[in-house]
Structure 1
Amino acid sequence: MRVLQIINSLGTGGAEKLLLDTIPLYRKEGVEMDLLLFWENNHPFTKALMDLNCCKVIVLNHSLNYKDIYSPRNILKLRKYLKDYDIAHVHLFPAQYFTVLANISLKNRCKLIFTEHSTSNRRINNRIFKPLESWIYTKYKKLVCITEEIKNIYDNYLKQFNTIEIIYNGVNIEMIQNAKSRNKEEIHPILTQEQKIILQVSAFRKGKDQMTLVKALQYLPENYYVVLVGEGDELKNCENHVIELGFDKRVVFLGQRMDIPRLLKTADIIVLSSKYEGLSLSSIEGMASGKPFVASDVPGLSEVVGGAGVLFELGNAKELAERIQELLEDKTLYERTVEACQNRAAQYDIQNMIQKHIELYQRVYAAT
């Protein structure tokens, strides 16, 4: 059984980080698995996977233009490789569409699985896209939803589509818990050990809400600093807003980093301010870190974090600041929140996810 993971790129994002973390583990379990990217532009995740030398990494476009992932020419390029695999496990749009079309041209030689990572999909509410979207989904043998909420959305949207199942994304809990903290000065020159670091790890995309965390600084003492990790289309806008608000001396942008576990261990509070999520790996990593985790009370976060970490109203910077200060001023609350977060994170250990996916591959492969 040969499995090909297909995704647009290994840029910043939860689905992308998941592939970096899991492909080596699938290989250790004896699954012959490779990765195909529609585009690659020297991303750290891609380099890290290649350095492991555990699988073949196929890249369809080496250009500097990310928009090449939307080129229909990718259908023919993909066809060349798809025929050599028994199963293709696809992530994200437009890989979702192009893989189906390439497979049809091969007379459906490869069995397709698609993972839905988000509660937000504008195409299913679009009058033009909806019929095409429904048809595309029927070409997949299995639709994997990473949360119960996502499954409910697609149960309602894809009526009669009875091949949906839930497999929660996972995190290498042991690696997070065993990571060593760093001196704060090592992270950035403006940071010192006396400062309180509030860390958010997330891509700078429309669905994220880093600015609410930045605005919370106006309600917090001067020794509270925000550290933002990630890249994306909205990064420049966020940097400009930070300067406009006068917080450029209290907000640090670190870009994409490969030492996330150590950064989590160094921070005082972990926050994920976001408008929606699927099953956020950042939230699970944050809860596993041994630090209190605070998140927006929105779909994809309230279910995972509620009852363990601390939730705040979307966009409410004042409430976020109050929750942060309460945690840092109340040692008992801090420790109780840490314990609850670690217990919750343990439910999402990556090995559970790996085994469930392997069982799914075996069932799909064996089916006629």
Structure 2
Amino acid sequence: MRVLQIINSLGTGGAEKLLLDTIPLYRKAGIEMDILLFWNNNHQFVNALKELDICNVIVLQESENYKDIYSLSHILKLRKHLKNYDIAHVHLFPAQYFTVLANILIGGKCKLIFTEHNTTNRRIQKSYFQFIERFIYSHYEKLVCISDEISDIYKKYLPAFENKFTIINNGVNLETITKANPISRSDIQPSVKNSDKLLLQVSAFRPQKDQKTLIKAMGLLPDDVVLVLVGDGETRQECENLVAEMSLEKRVFFVGQRMDIPRLLKTADLILLSSNYEGLSLSSIEGMASGRAFVASDVPGLSEIVSGAGILFECSNPKDLANRIQELLENEELYNQTVANCQLRAQQYDIQLMIQKHIALYKSV
């Protein structure tokens, strides 16, 4: 059985990091698996996967322009590769559409599986997309939802395909997180002192995320509270501009994409995820497994995972977020209980459980 993972890129984000973490494990389990990317710009995740030398990494286009993922030429390029695999496991749009069209061109020889990673997208919000969506989804053998919430949403959205949906939670390599050692704070940012209270958010800079609320909350917190934002993307410049407008340059730091996330998590005092919506956030699971208190926005895709373990705050409300952070930093008993609850919750999302379920799904298809 040969499986091809297909995704727009391995630039930054949860689905992208998930493939970097899981492909070695699939290979170890005896699944012959490769990966195809529509676009690459010397990304760290791609380089890390190539260094492992365990699979073929197929890149359709190398360029500096992210919008190249939408090039229709990918459909013709993709069809040449699909015929070499039994199953294509697809992630995100436009890979979701282009793979179907490429497979039609080769007579549907490859079995297709698609994973829904988010609770919403721009297409699901527009009724005129439904005809196109029904056509695309009809060509997938199975539709994997990474949470119960996503499954409920898409079953209502596309009831004709209810029998195709299956739920497989994304997972995290918990051992990597729990065994990581902290690094020197000065290695993260030279001006961060050991006496500072260090907040950390790991997420791409996209409209889906809400780093701006977190930055605004920083203006309501004491001067010894500092924030490190890990990641990159299209909204980073807007966030940097906001930091400058609020004169927070000495307390809010942008460190770009990092490959030492487990060690960063262990170095922080609080892990946060301010977001407008999620699917099943790997960053939230990593944060809860880290041994640090975790705070997240009360939105679809986070509420389900975090409620009863970490601390939730009202989405887009910097004052509420600042209050939650202050309370955790001042109340040691609350902090320690939150850590214990988070670590217990994270155990439900071990990556090995996900791997086993996906392999069973591949065999059934």
TM range (shorter): over 0.9
Query: SS in structure 1 opposite 2:41?
Result: coil
Instruction: Work out the CA distance in 1 between the residues paired with 2:324 and 2:66.
Output: 39
CA displacement at 1:264 relative to structure 2: 0.2
Instruction: Work out the CA distance in 1 between the residues paired with 2:363 and 2:11.
Output: 29
Instruction: Work out the CA distance in 1 between the residues paired with 2:68 and 2:219.
Output: 41
Q: How does 1:289-368 map to 2 (within 5 A)?
A: 289-364=290-365
Q: Which amino acid aligns with 1:276?
A: Y
In the alignment, structure 1 segments of 5+ residues that lack a partner are none
CA displacement at 1:124 relative to structure 2: 2.3
Instruction: Work out the CA distance in 1 between the residues paired with 2:38 and 2:222.
Output: 46
Deviations 1:185-221 (CA, angstroms, capped at 9, x unpaired): 1111111111110000011100111111111122211
Query: SS in structure 2 opposite 1:128?
Result: helix
CA displacement at 1:69 relative to structure 2: 1.4
Give 2:48's aligned residue: 48
**1:116 matched to 2:120:** no
CA displacement at 1:63 relative to structure 2: 2.2
Q: How does 1:194-343 map to 2 (within 5 A)?
A: 194-343=195-344
Instruction: Work out the CA distance in 2 between the residues paired with 1:362 and 1:348.
Output: 22
In the alignment, structure 2 segments of 5+ residues that lack a partner are none
Q: Which amino acid aligns with 1:84?
A: N
Query: SS in structure 1 opposite 2:4?
Result: strand
Instruction: Work out the CA distance in 1 between the residues paired with 2:74 and 2:170.
Output: 28
Q: TM-score, normalised by structure 1?
A: 0.98
Q: Cα RMSD between the aligned structures?
A: 0.8
Deviations 1:88-128 (CA, angstroms, capped at 9, x unpaired): 00000000011001101111000000000001122123233
Q: TM-score, normalised by structure 2?
A: 0.99
Q: Which amino acid aligns with 1:65?
A: N
Q: Which amino acid aligns with 1:274?
A: S
Instruction: Work out the CA distance in 2 between the residues paired with 1:125 and 1:186.
Output: 43
Q: Which amino acid aligns with 2:62?
A: H
Q: Contact conserved, 2:271 with 2:292, CA < 8 A, in 1?
A: yes
Deviations 1:315-349 (CA, angstroms, capped at 9, x unpaired): 11111111111111111111110000000001000
Give 2:84's aligned residue: 84
CA displacement at 1:78 relative to structure 2: 0.3
Instruction: Work out the CA distance in 1 between the residues paired with 2:30 and 2:329.
Output: 46
Instruction: Work out the CA distance in 1 between the residues paired with 2:100 and 2:74.
Output: 12
Instruction: Work out the CA distance in 2 between the residues paired with 1:178 and 1:325.
Output: 28
**1:179 matched to 2:180:** yes
Aligned-pair identity in percent equals 66
Q: Contact conserved, 2:219 with 2:246, CA < 8 A, in 1?
A: no
Q: Contact conserved, 2:279 with 2:301, CA < 8 A, in 1?
A: yes
Which segments of structure 1 move beyond 6 Å, counting only runs of 4 or more?
Answer: none
Instruction: Work out the CA distance in 2 between the residues paired with 1:260 and 1:198.
Output: 14
Of 173-182 and 323-332, the range deviating more from structure 2: 323-332
